[in-house]
Amino acid sequence: MTADPEILEAALGYSFRDREPLVRALTHKSRTHEQTRPGEDPVSNEQLEFLGDAILGLVVSDFLFRNFPGYGEGRLSKLKAHLVSEARLYEVAQALSLGGYLLLGRGEEMSGGREKRALLGDAVEALIAALYLDGGLPAARQFIESQIVGSAGLEDQTGEFTTVDYKSALQERAQALHMPQPKYAIVEESGPEHSKVFTVEARIGREWTDRAQGTTKKAAGQNAARLLLDRLPEAER
């Protein structure tokens, strides 16, 4: 049984006017092959993956070009490669719990399709296309820049640069609100050694807490900090 798409919309911060593109983006070809009747056109997320891949490349390239005019082509290409990689898209899918929303065929379900890196990465690209078809480039851009670029930890790629350091931002917000300093704890490790997924809890005092996943401890911590930061009130100026 798949999760309610309304929950996914809440996580995205976007409500679809027409859910058909969203449902299509979540439909794997294995589901289509099992349920399409003779004479019907098969509908899956494969074409949306193609479109989403192009939109992702455009938005990431535009973001890097606009924000880092001093970077050479080699450095920009390296950052882009990281942001559009299967590993990065898998992290985003895990943070959204995207696997729980997928519509899979029985065979794919039984073989653990909801946790497969390639399948989840493709689903993120299809989701980008669905956002584009329903809300235009602004909707797709908002998702890419907030969910894919915003917590990517790009300093790991260059040693110099990161888009947003959510841990530092959370610490600064807590200080401004006269709250205890944030604490982080790894609460779960799952998956094989070559493909681990970490769950990290971010906590401020007893009342404020959030958990998030990532394929590295650092990414999971940043994701958890981002979620908690979104919930905290703004500091008075």
Q: Which residues are catalytic, by number?
A: 53, 125
Distance CA 151, CA 160 (A): 15
Non-local CB neighbours of 34 within 8 Å, separated by 6+ positions: 105, 106, 107
Angle at 76 between CA 70 and CA 77, to 5 degrees: 155
The answer to whether residues 198 and 217 touch, using CB atoms and an 8 Å cutoff, is: yes
SS3 198: strand
User: CB–CB of 25/132 below 8 Å?
Assistant: no
